[in-house]
Amino acid sequence: MLERIPPGETIVLDLCYGTARNITGKAIYRNPACFLHPDAAIALHRAAGFAQALDLRLHIYDAFRPSEAQWVLWRHLPDPMYIADPREGSNHSRGVAVDLTLADRQGRVLDMGTPFDDMTMASHHGSVAVSREAQANRFLLLGLMRAAGFAHYAFEWWHYELPDANSYAVLDDRQAATGMMGQ
């Protein structure tokens, strides 16, 4: 079963697919919540500890994404470079992927050069199309997420997942019992 991650001192929840602030322009989750597989939750709390030592917080945009929601995204943008084909299964729908950035103690997100879900080459790790400060902030996020046990994805600075993500089962909302899709 998945573990619910509550907001707290080191973790800010800003679940974009529960609002219109996402690539579809509409809320996809009726009951937005942050759920992860317990293995990913352990790594996330480790990353939050690393961030806290630097007076930073994890600012989470998305975590578990029921496969119904993956279909909504795929129909909007069927490009496998940026959206996993729901027939193969997104690692978000396995509960072992998280989209996030870093925020300071006042809750201001660090400059990463592009917004979350900006599906352009400027979002790729190592892009020099963004400022040096943004490059450094991305590498800071990369370092603490890797040290916590996550793998990165070359085309999206905000996406992290467990290295053995494919060994976890894909779940729809009923199987995960999160109620996020409001069924």
Considering only residues 109 to 148 of the shown chain, the ones binding Zn ion according to CB under 5 A are none
CB of 42 to Zn ion, least distance (A): 19
Which residue of this chain has its Cβ atom nearest to Zn ion in the complex?
Answer: 159
Q: Coil, helix or strand for 149?
A: coil
Nearest CA-CA partner of 113 in 103, 98, 127? 127
Q: Per CB under 5 A, which region of 76-84, 102-110, 139-147, 156-164 contacts Zn ion?
A: 156-164
The DSSP annotation for 107-139 comes to SPBP--SS-TT--SGGGSTT-SSS-HHHHHHHH
Backbone angles phi, psi at 182, to 5 degrees: 75, 25
CB of 53 to Zn ion, least distance (A): 25
Instruction: Give the active site residue among 9, 88, 133, 156.
Output: 156
Q: How far apart are CA 167 and CA 158, in angstroms?
A: 22
Q: Does 65 bind Zn ion (CB under 5 A)?
A: no
Q: What residues are paired with 36 via a beta bridge?
A: 3
Q: Which is nearer to Zn ion, 37 or 159 (CB)?
A: 159
Q: Which is nearer to Zn ion, 96 or 134 (CB)?
A: 96
Q: What mask, x for binding Zn ion by CB under 5 A, covers residues 82 to 111? A: -----------------x------------
- Residue 68 annotated among the catalytic residues of the structure: no
Query: Judged by CB under 5 A, which of 13, 37, 159, 180 binds Zn ion?
Result: 159
CB of 90 to Zn ion, least distance (A): 8
Q: How far apart are CA 170 and CA 135, in angstroms?
A: 33
Q: Which is nearer to Zn ion, 54 or 121 (CB)?
A: 121
Which residues have a Cβ under 8 Å from the Cβ of 36 and sit 6 or more positions away?
2, 3, 5, 44, 63, 64, 95, 96, 98
Binding site for Zn ion (CB under 5 A): 99, 159
Active site residues: 156
